[in-house]
Structure 1
């Protein structure tokens, strides 16, 4: 995986994880709220049904109260009470039923086939003893009981909420009930709506996550393309400058070899040839003149050797590898003083030998370039080179009292300031810092390189 892809992946992954966590939290809270809402609605339904059933049982009790409180329990009175209760109904499936305390069915208007049968051991579809529970509830003073019973209109077992009371004077249990399939349908509809809402919420979160991821990825890709183009342009410019620097260095070497060493070698060759001719003569004065010619040629050879050392030192000073950056800069300042006549004061302090070889070379080349620029443009009368280190890095400071220049303008000029841009790019290459401040009072250059460069 490329670095750009890793960056995009690391940017998108926390976003996706955060949105997933949000989605899980929202879903959990939505499910809890849905359950609470369902329970609230169910409780409200059951409360309304309970009040409704109590009202129906009260009406039924009132309809036979004149018989029940008459003190009679003869068969005619009981049959009249059964007739009155069987005639009472509400809705399609609302009716009243009668059982004795042993579980025998006394009256059931919707299922007359049950009359006379003992249902004490009857169990509903869930295995619960229906009649036993109803009788127990009636003996306890009456109340609600939930069970499964066949609904007359559909002939299928449906959840039912019954309300029963005891009639101890006759040994009866009277009750009625409301089938809860409509309640279950309403609750199921609510569950579907809530599930749909939760599903839609998750879809919205997923859409937001996808949109955010696409946005981040697109932005990252656009930035990567932009950075790639900028980096490619910089690389092309840098490559061009490297070629230009190489050509300039070759041109300088060519001039040094042609103007200096080559001319000296030609002169030495001519002097040696002249001396050899004079040595072939029999005259003593010619031999003496040949000796003088050879001495002069030997002196010129010494000059050639010095010029070779100077060129070699400019290309790569051996003292930089042997004694370190501080010694190389000190020697560079001495040579500059000898060649230009401008005094250079060098001072080093702290730990200055902890840099990598490439960083030492960069700082030395910056010092070379700075002294070259001072000699060409600054007209300075004094130069100071300072090298300080603190164990974490090394700072090079070069200041002069010359005429100064417009540092920002030169740095941005497409044809001028090549040396200044080269210094900046060298420091960028090793992750260092470069700063230059110039005014009419002089110029101060600072270059910092860390020990891990």
Structure 2
């Protein structure tokens, strides 16, 4: 997997995990809120129904209160009270019932077949003793009880909320109730609505998460495409620059060979031909040919020097023979000879022979840096410091020139090709390349991890004293 794909994955994966966590948290909170809301609605509804039932029971108590309070306890008086309660119905399923405190049914307007039956041991489908619960609540001073009972209008068992009180004077339990199937239906509708809302919320979160991930992916793709285009443009520019540099180097070598070495060889050839013709015409006058041959030898020496100069420009022999520091000293001497620059080369630390590619890279960086200083910096003094440390070798080039805008130079694909080449050369060797510039001057630092050469280093001879170069 490529680095950009990993970065995109690292951007998308936390977002997806975060959205998934948010979805789970929202679902949990919404479910808990729906349950809490359901409990509150159910409690409030049951409380209101309980108050309503208590008012109904109080109304029934007030209807039979004159007969109870009369002190009579005969059968006619009780029958009159039962008839009065039987007439007090409300709605299709609202009625009053009577039991004695031993569980025998005394009156039931909707289910007359129960009258006279002992229902003390009657159980609902869940096994609860229905009548005993009602009598216990009545003896405790009255209260509400939830139980299962057959609904008269549908002849089906339905949840019911009853409210009962005791009539101690006649050993009665008086009560009424309201069926809760409509309450259960309302609560199921609330649950269904809450579940629908939760699903819609989760769907919205999913849509938002999908859009967010797509936006991040699209942004990453756009950035990737943009970076690829920029990289391709820089690569094309670099390729053109490499080709151009090769052609410039070939043209330079051609000019030097043609204008220097070639002409010197031609002149030597002409001098030798003149000496040959003289000897042919006057063999006895050999002494007069000696100056001509001396001139030819001098010109051959010039040819050899020119060949050495061209070879040094291609790769200095001192870099292979005496090491990096000596090559930097020689480079400084050559650049000082043809300019007004004052170049100081220093060395610190315990010298060690570097690997060929490392020594070459540091030398080329110094060469490029000094060339740029000479051409563009308008500097008077340059300091080149080579430092050998325990685990790295550092080259520092500092000048007192006018400086330049580093960020602008690096962002312009048409400029700074040489600096980018140096940076890439260091990166290829696992090194670091730091460049800083201001109106007070420019500072270049190239650092490479120490990797010794496979060849054992030869002891370098003492360098010749150079007044312009100091060694620390």
TM-score by length of 1: 0.83
Q: Does the CA contact (< 8 Å) of 2:369 and 2:397 recur in 1?
A: no
Query: In the alignment, is residue 336 of structure 1 matched against residue 335 of structure 2?
Result: yes
- Cα RMSD between the aligned structures? 3.7
Distance 1:400 1:96, change over 3 A: closer
Q: Structure 2: how far apart are the matches of 1:357 and 1:126?
A: 93
Mapped pair 1:248 → 2:269: no
Distance 2:188 2:7 in 1: 48
Following superposition of structure 1 onto structure 2, how do residues 238-317 of structure 1 map, counting pairs within 5 Å? 238-268=238-268, 283=283, 285-286=285-286, 299-317=298-316
Task: Give the 5 Å matches for 1:66-215.
Answer: 66-215=66-215
Counterparts of 1:379 and 1:111 in 2: how far apart (Å)? 117
Are 1:447 and 2:469 counterparts?
no
C-alpha separation between the residues in 2 aligned to 1:42 and 1:377?
87
Query: Tell me, which stretches of 5 or more residues in structure 1 are unaligned?
Result: none
Count of paired positions = 439
C-alpha spacing 1:390/1:366, structure 2 compared with 1 (3 Å): closer
Higher relative contact order (CA 8 A, sep 6+): 2
Distance in structure 2 (CA, Å) of the matches to 1:353 and 1:178? 103
Change (3 A) 1:104 1:343: closer
Sort the Cα spacing of 1:110 and 1:18 in 2 relative to 1 into closer, same or farther, 3 A.
same
| Conservation of the 8 A alpha-carbon contact between 2:97 and 2:176 | yes
Quote the Cα distance in structure 2 between the aligned partners of 1:266 and 1:46: 123
The verdict on how the C-alpha distance between 1:103 and 1:320 changes in structure 2, with shifts beyond 3 A counting, is farther
Q: Deviations over 1:160-184 (max 9, x none)?
A: 1111112222222111111111222
Change (3 A) 1:233 1:169: same
Give the aligned partner of residue 418 of structure 2.
423
1:445 to 1:377, Cα distance in 2 relative to 1, 3 A: closer
* DSSP 3-state at the match of 1:241: helix
Q: Is the 8 A contact 1:159 1:179 kept in 2?
A: yes
Q: Secondary structure of the equivalent of 1:79?
A: helix
Contact 1:165 1:173 in 2 (8 A): yes
> CA offsets, 1:68-115, max 9 Å, x none?
222222222222222121221112211111122222222111112222
> Does the 8 A contact of 1:325 with 1:353 survive in 2?
no
| 1:101-140 Cα shifts (integer Å, max 9, x gaps) | 2222221111122222222222112221111211222222
Are residues 1:6 and 2:20 paired?
no
Cα offset for 1:249? 0.7
Q: After alignment, is 18-27 or 106-115 more displaced?
A: 18-27
Deviates more, 1:152-161 or 1:254-263: 254-263
CA distance in structure 1 between the aligned counterparts of 2:26 and 2:224, rounded to whole angstroms: 35
Kept in 1: contact 2:351–2:388 (CA 8 A): no
Q: Name the CA shift for 1:244/1:352 in 2 (closer, same or farther; >3 Å).
A: farther
Looking at structure 1, the residues matched to 10 and 350 of structure 2 have their Cα atoms a distance apart, in angstroms, of 39
Q: CA deviation at 1:259?
A: 2.4
Q: Who is 2:50 aligned against?
A: 50
Residue 211 of structure 2 aligns to a residue whose secondary structure is helix
Q: Secondary structure at the match of 1:63?
A: helix
Q: Which moved more, 1:236-245 or 1:249-258?
A: 249-258
Cα distance between partner residues in 2 of 1:377 and 1:44: 88
User: 1:356 & 1:189 partners in 2: Cα distance?
Assistant: 82
Deviation at 1:373, TM superposition (A): 5.7
The 2-side partners of 1:77 and 1:407 are apart by 115
1:34 match: 34
Q: Cα gap change, 1:115/1:394 in structure 2, threshold over 3 Å: closer, same or farther? A: same
CA contact (8 A) 1:352 1:388 kept: no
CA distance 1:14–1:325, shift in 2 (3 Å):
farther
Match of 1:386 among 384, 387, 394: 384
Q: Is the 8 A contact 1:162 1:178 kept in 2?
A: yes
The whole-number CA distance in structure 2 between the counterparts of 1:209 and 1:393 is 51
How far the C-alpha of 1:262 sits from its partner, in A, is 3.1
**Tell me, what secondary structure is at the counterpart of 1:90?**
coil
CA contact (8 A) 1:38 1:191 kept: yes
SS of 1:64's equivalent in the other structure is helix
- The answer as to whether partners of 2:403 and 2:438 remain within 8 angstroms in 1 is no
**Contact 1:334 1:344 (C-alpha < 8 Å) held by counterparts:** no
Equivalents in 1 of 2:404, 2:53: separation in Å? 99
Measured in 2, the distance between the counterparts of 1:428 and 1:145 equals 87
Identify the residue that residue 345 of structure 2 maps to in structure 1: 347
